[in-house]
Amino acid sequence: MVNFTYYCYLCVKKNSLELPAPGAPENHHADLKCEKCGNNTHVLTSSYPGEECNRYLYWINVSSVPSLVTGFAEYMVQNMQKLIDSAAEQCVKIGINTPNTFLIHAKRRCGPELTVEIEVCDSY
């Protein structure tokens, strides 16, 4: 557990709470709610593995990952359809690979570099 403090980006209220921060590559997703205005913020926490470092990593996202994935999928369908249609007319096979995970590389002040692997899914 880590003592996590952040400022709401809407009302600038300081919020503090305890969050799990499992050792990387494990991570914890949480939806934080501002005590003052009720604004929701999505956060991901992960700590550096090993005893040599007591730091943790966090990423804050005010939009949800599922809506980002949906928006990207809509973009790909709309903007790639002409290419797919053209390839089909020419009997060309097209394959589009989408990752199941997203990798974030982190440089540490204490210890070796590490990679946090975030699962790309449509809900948490």
Task: Kindly report the pTM of this predicted structure.
Answer: 0.50
Nearest to 23 by CA among 48, 45, 55, 42: 48
Residue type, 14: K
d(CA 51, CA 74): 44
pLDDT of 70: 72
pLDDT tens digits, one per residue of 5-53: 988 878 889 999 999 988 877 888 888 898 999 888 888 888 877 666 7
Count CB neighbours of 114 within 10 A: 19
State both tokens at 18. 């305890």
Phi/psi of residue 28, each to 5°? -125, 130
pLDDT of 124: 39
Residue type, 97: N
